[in-house]
Amino acid sequence: MRNLKLAGHVGFDTLPDQLVSKSVQCGFNFNILCVGETGLGKSTLMDSLFNTSFESNPSPHSLSGVKLKSHTYELQESNVKLKLTLVDTIGYGDQVNKEESFKPVVDYIDAQFEAYLQEELKIKRQLATFHDTRIHVCLYFICPTGHGLKSLDLVCMKKLDNKVNIIPVIAKADTISKPELMRFKTKIMSELAANGVQIYQFPVDDEAVAEMNLSMNAHFPFAVCGSTDFIRVGNKMVRARQYPWGTVQVENENHCDFVKLREMLIRTNMEDLRETTHIRHYEIYRRLRLEQMGFSDLDSDNKPQSFQQTYEHKRQLLRMELQQKEDEMRQQFVIRVKEKETELKEAEKELQSRFDRLKKEHAEEKRKLDEAKKRLEDNQNELVKRRQQLLTQSTGTLGHGTLTLGKNKKK
């Protein structure tokens, strides 16, 4: 590579400006998954993060399983448009048997990856206008017990750490004291490290935000609390929670880590979360799915091969498999035809034997009927003869009586 000096201004130094203009024109999308038990303030925290009021209904505690509900909103700040999708886990941790509580969450994340993969594999792709629903960050809400993580928390985060960027947050942090909160944070991080759970780390490769992100990585998990109420403190209205003993200001860093979470999540590292989702988590899913489909970058001899070669090889294997199945089906068809012919021949023999038997019985019946008819005719002829004889005898006797009567008259 040779380095050359330009004799004058060319203009490709405006490429960043062109990229910014194009991005602002197309808009951005960001998808947040909130995982946590019912009543930990997930919806309230989302309202506080984006300083608005999203649609939300109280979730019951009597659901038989975990359900995921997503809502998409279009937000605009200055001239930047953001399509925000919030996904809530309804009924998470409310069941007596929590063994499969994480499965609907994992299935939902995989379903969004699969939808993007199917769009990417189309011949006519429309990725520019495709609504990308892949989860960019998972805010895992931890119950403020002060006694460490639950088994469900560890199992779920372990199942999700290679599929989504996990940021653990301690919900309703205003319910425990400062010393308890510090001990609770330390215990949570030690349990995550002991169980091999990989949570999202803010990037430190950019010099502009490296120092800030490095310091924020030490604040995990963030202890937050949200509120939809505004209370006057001094001369201004602040988002806060009013208690009998005092006021907790949501945006006061001395009271909770809400500001730190908002700065890191939205203002500083939103694009890195989107990029990490695409480059790391989606690529892992895509590679595994393509390997399941039979595609690979290496052939049987561990030599590099193109996607086209893999496709042709896979196509040839499928053709051979289809040909083999066709031959097997043809053989089965021939065997079944022979079996059917044998059955038909046996049925034909049985029918022929029945026909012969019925024919013989019919001939016997006919012979018997002929004999009976002949006997009947003989009896009839004999009866006719006897009648004639009787008539003849009766006629002779009547004639003799008439002759005798005539002689008597003469006398």
DSSP 63-110: -SS-EEEEEEEEEEETTEEEEEEEEEEETTT-SS--TTTTHHHHHHHH
Indicate if 193 and 173 belong to the same structural domain. yes
CB contact at 8 A, 134 and 31:
yes
3-class state of residue 238 by DSSP: strand
Residue 235 CB partners (closer than 8 Å, separation 6+): none
Q: What would the pLDDT profile of 91-119 be if each residue is shown by its tens digit? A: 888 877 777 889 999 999 999 999 999 99
Indicate if 269 and 139 belong to the same structural domain. yes
Whether 163 maps to a domain, the answer reads yes
The residue segments making up the domain with residue 316 are 299-366
Residue 286's closest CA among 105, 31, 108, 116? 116
Please state the pTM of the whole predicted model.
0.74
Indicate if 286 and 168 belong to the same structural domain. yes
Dist CA 94 CA 60 (whole Å): 9
Q: How far is CA 287 from the centre of its chain?
A: 20
User: How many domains does the chain fold into?
Assistant: 2
Indicate if 116 and 191 belong to the same structural domain. yes
Dist CA 131 CA 381 (whole Å): 108
Indicate if 280 and 314 belong to the same structural domain. no
Q: What residues of the chain score a pLDDT lower than 70?
A: 298-301, 305, 398-411
Whether 41 maps to a domain, the answer reads yes
Residue 269's closest CA among 335, 206, 341? 206
Q: What would the pLDDT profile of 42-52 be if each residue is shown by its tens digit? A: 989 999 999 88
How many residues can be counted in the chain? 411
Dist CA 134 CA 114 (whole Å): 9
Structural domain ending residue among the three candidates 270, 293, 316 = 293
Structural domain ending residue among the three candidates 231, 261, 293 = 293
Residue 171's closest CA among 34, 319, 42? 42
Which pLDDT does position 57 carry in this prediction?
74
H or E segment and range at residue 248: strand 246-249
**CATH number of domain containing 102:** 3.40.50.300
Indicate if 227 and 306 belong to the same structural domain. no
